[in-house]
């Protein structure tokens, strides 16, 4: 199972939100490059990066900070936030991103998603931000009436490499992930699932890692690292 330490970037800084609320934002001292270097030095092979300004505005907005990480640190990056065109995807892959995450664009334009998956084999991940079973879009500002399970079934044969499943009710709360719903969903679909949102302790990660389910590919850990609830070196022992 892959452990993805997270870097959320807003206006060039590392930040975390609570339940996707941009009015409940915490900024941290370390710059994204410093944070990425710390992950790399502790032995992590993957980083999950979200351009929050991009997610809000619909266009990549923190490319300089992310490019710096890709250029200077030999670590696999999956990048999301404002990636809504084939050119956006092509640019990130040419720069060196391991996976490009489509969110809002994937849900609003499944033809675009299918084209991207065909053009960039095994490079496209889809991020689904889910509240009470339904997908939210545009940095969680727009709630849809689309059930996550229905959407995944619709795209199941496109060639999506992974689904990043974020429970909005849990994200940034450090009250524990919604393992139950993620596990149930993973058993109903073929695309590997990465759990995101609510990780509060090493025990949460151990619990997910011990699941007898080969379709849970990984877990994303963010706010608990930044706040010191999870020590990076302790998390690295689970790699």
User: Any idea which residues carry the catalytic annotation?
Assistant: 8, 129
CA-to-CA dists, residue 54 to 11, 42, 187, 214, angstroms: 10, 28, 32, 32
Burial string for 40-58 (b: 16+ CB within 10 Å, else e) reads bebebebbbbbbbbbbbeb
Distance of alpha carbon 220 from alpha carbon 6, whole angstroms: 6
| Both tokens assigned to 41 | 């030095």
CA-to-CA dists, residue 100 to 40, 60, 97, 174, 239, angstroms: 20, 12, 7, 26, 22
| Both tokens assigned to 89 | 């995807």
CA-to-CA dists, residue 121 to 106, 116, 125, 217, 223, angstroms: 16, 8, 11, 18, 31
| Helices (H), ranges, 48-201 | 52-57, 63-72, 86-95, 104-108, 110-119, 148-155, 179-188
User: From its phi and psi, is residue 159 left (phi > 0), alpha (psi between -120 and 50) or beta?
Assistant: left
Nearest to 199 by CA among 165, 237, 226, 171: 171
């Amino acid at each position: 199972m892959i452990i993805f330490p997270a870097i959320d970037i807003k206006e060039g800084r590392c930040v975390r939100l609570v339940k996707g609320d941009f009015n409940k934002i915490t900024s941290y001292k370390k710059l994204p490059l410093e944070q990425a270097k710390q992950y790399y030095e502790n032995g992590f092979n993957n980083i999950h990066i979200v351009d929050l300004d991009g997610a809000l505005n619909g266009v990549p907005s923190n490319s300089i900070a992310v490019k710096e990480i890709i250029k200077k640190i030999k670590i696999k990056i999956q990048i999301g936030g404002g990636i809504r065109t084939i050119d956006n995807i092509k640019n990130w892959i040419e720069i060196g991103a391991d996976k490009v995450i489509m969110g809002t664009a994937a849900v609003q334009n499944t033809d675009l998603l299918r084209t991207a998956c065909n053009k960039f084999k095994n490079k496209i991940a889809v991020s689904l931000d889910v509240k009470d079973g339904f997908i939210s879009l545009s940095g969680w500002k727009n709630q849809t009436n689309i059930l996550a399970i229905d959407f995944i079934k619709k795209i199941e044969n496109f060639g999506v490499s992974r689904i990043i499943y974020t429970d909005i009710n849990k994200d940034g709360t450090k009250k524990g992930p919604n393992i139950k719903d993620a596990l149930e969903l993973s058993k109903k679909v073929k695309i590997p699932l990465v759990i995101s949102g609510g990780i509060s302790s090493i025990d949460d990660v151990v619990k997910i890692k011990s699941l007898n389910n080969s379709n849970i590919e990984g877990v994303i850990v963010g706010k608990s690292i930044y706040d010191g609830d999870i020590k990076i070196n302790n998390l690295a022992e689970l790699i």
